[in-house]
């Protein structure tokens, strides 16, 4: 009986050891697939949405501030006497799904959006080369109609934007992003203008230090969709991370801080000094801790 008991103990310990060994192998295989994170410091490049999402249960309070054009000269303190502001908040419903709402002083516009992280870039045992997000927004311009005596429709105030955001973090120092974009305007000022404006936005991030990054974005709109005088948006930005805050200092030729404006209605010419200095401030608050 003692021999049988000894054999039984040996078999049980061998089985447990094999199970532990298999679990270690499985855990090691799982650890080899890593989700790539921190492609950008914030969920905005400057104007454009980045591939990043606000985490689940986190509220991201944002203030966007843009001064007048530098070309206004010393009498307007190179644009610092003028300003437009957007105040908004983003919330992470899940780690893949976020929503946001904001209000801009420029054209008294209210905008709301939803962004969904469809594919996440991974490396290791399972390689996924790109991250992909889907983005949609609606904006309502609330300034009074220019001609209140005619029949005006609420739908004329509405604008829509749709984007597919494609991004790859090539290294800790460099991220590249492309965003095919459609802006639909229910009402345009002139018949020569297109209601649907197609564009291709590109953005890049260059990490300078642990807390500093240089961001560049350019939005190309093919000819024939906009009237003469409208230009492609070009922006340079510097991200400064300070714990719970992210400061974004930037120079841009776009006045508006929402998609229908900076994609389809940019008029500033960099070479003429029609450039706005501005900044974005982001502060995050953990409102809800998701269950593990």
Q: Return d(Cα 148, Cα 32) in angstroms, integer.
A: 64
Q: What is the pLDDT of residue 160?
A: 96
Q: What is the pLDDT of residue 31?
A: 62
In a domain, 12, yes or no: no
In a domain, 280, yes or no: no
Which CATH number covers residue 54? 2.40.160.40
Instruction: pLDDT tens for the chain, 292 residues: list them.
Output: 444 344 334 334 444 444 554 554 455 555 688 888 889 888 999 999 999 999 999 999 999 999 988 888 888 888 788 889 999 999 999 999 999 999 999 989 999 999 999 999 998 888 899 999 999 999 999 888 777 777 788 888 899 999 999 999 999 999 999 999 999 999 887 777 888 999 999 999 999 988 899 999 999 999 888 878 899 999 999 999 887 678 899 999 999 999 999 999 999 899 888 999 999 998 888 887 776 5
How many other CB atoms are found less than 10 A from the CB of residue 191?
5
Q: Return d(Cα 90, Cα 140) in angstroms, integer.
A: 18
Q: What is the pLDDT of residue 244?
A: 65
In a domain, 44, yes or no: yes
Q: What range defines the domain where residue 57 resides?
A: 28-272
> In this structure, are residues 133 and 53 in contact, taking their beta carbons and an 8 Å threshold?
yes
CB within 8 Å of 233: residues ≥ 6 apart: 47, 217, 218, 219, 252, 253, 254, 262, 263, 266
Q: What is the mean pLDDT of the chain?
A: 85
How would you write the chain as a 3-class SS string?
A: CHHHHHHHHHHHHHHHHHHHHHHHHHHHHHHCEEECCCCCCCCECCCCECCCCCCECEEEEEEEEEEEEHHHCHHHHHHCCCEEEEEEEEEECCCCEEEEEEEECHHHEEEEEEEEEEECCEEECCCECCEEEEEEEEEEECCCCCCCCCCCCHHHHEEEEEEEEEEEEEECCEEEEEEEEEEEECCCCCCCCCCEEEEEEEEEEEECCCCEEEEEEEEECCCCCCCCCCCCEEEEEEEEEECCEEEEEEEECCCCCCHHHHHHCCCCCHHHCCCEEEEEEEEEEECCCCCC
Q: What is the pLDDT of residue 147?
A: 76
CB within 8 Å of 3: residues ≥ 6 apart: none
Beta bridge partners of residue 109, listed in sequence order: 104, 141
Residue-wise pLDDT for 202-248, tens only, equals: 999 999 988 899 999 999 999 888 878 899 999 999 999 887 678 89
In a domain, 86, yes or no: yes
How wide is the angle at C-alpha 112 spanned by C-alphas 108 and 113, nearest 5°? Answer: 145
Q: Return d(Cα 115, Cα 230) in angstroms, integer.
A: 28
Q: What is the pLDDT of residue 21?
A: 47
In a domain, 278, yes or no: no
In a domain, 2, yes or no: no
> In this structure, are residues 217 and 46 in contact, taking their beta carbons and an 8 Å threshold?
yes
> In this structure, are residues 131 and 120 in contact, taking their beta carbons and an 8 Å threshold?
yes
Q: What's the structural domain count of the chain?
A: 1
Q: Return d(Cα 136, Cα 73) in angstroms, integer.
A: 38
> In this structure, are residues 219 and 233 in contact, taking their beta carbons and an 8 Å threshold?
yes
User: What percentage of the chain carries pLDDT values higher than 90?
Assistant: 55
């Amino acid at each position: 009986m003692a021999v049988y008991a000894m054999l039984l103990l040996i078999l049980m310990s061998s089985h447990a050891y094999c199970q532990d060994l298999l679990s270690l192998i499985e855990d090691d295989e799982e650890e080899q697939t890593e989700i790539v994170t921190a492609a950008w410091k914030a969920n905005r490049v400057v104007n454009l949405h980045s591939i990043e999402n606000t985490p689940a249960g986190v509220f991201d309070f944002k203030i966007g501030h843009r001064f007048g054009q530098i070309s206004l000269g010393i009498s307007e303190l190179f644009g610092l006497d003028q300003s437009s502001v957007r105040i908004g908040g983003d919330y992470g419903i899940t780690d893949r799904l976020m929503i946001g709402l904001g209000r801009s002083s420029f054209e008294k516009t209210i905008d709301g959006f939803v962004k969904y992280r469809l594919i996440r870039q991974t490396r290791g045992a399972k390689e996924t080369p790109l991250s992909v997000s889907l983005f949609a927004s609606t904006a309502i311009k609330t300034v009074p109609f220019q001609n209140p005596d005619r029949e005006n429709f609420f739908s004329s105030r509405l604008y829509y934007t749709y984007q597919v955001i494609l991004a790859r973090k090539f290294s800790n120092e460099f991220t590249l992003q492309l965003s095919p974009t459609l802006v639909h305007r229910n009402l345009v000022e002139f018949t020569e203008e297109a209601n649907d404006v197609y564009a291709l936005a590109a953005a890049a991030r260059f990490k300078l230090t642990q807390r500093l990054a240089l961001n560049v974005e350019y939005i190309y709109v093919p000819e024939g969709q906009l009237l003469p005088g409208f230009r492609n948006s070009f922006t340079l930005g510097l991200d400064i991370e300070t714990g719970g805050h992210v400061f974004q200092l930037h120079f841009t030729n776009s006045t508006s801080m929402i998609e229908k404006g900076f994609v389809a209605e940019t008029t500033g010419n960099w070479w003429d000094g029609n450039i706005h200095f501005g900044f974005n401030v982001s502060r995050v608050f953990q409102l809800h801790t998701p269950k593990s």
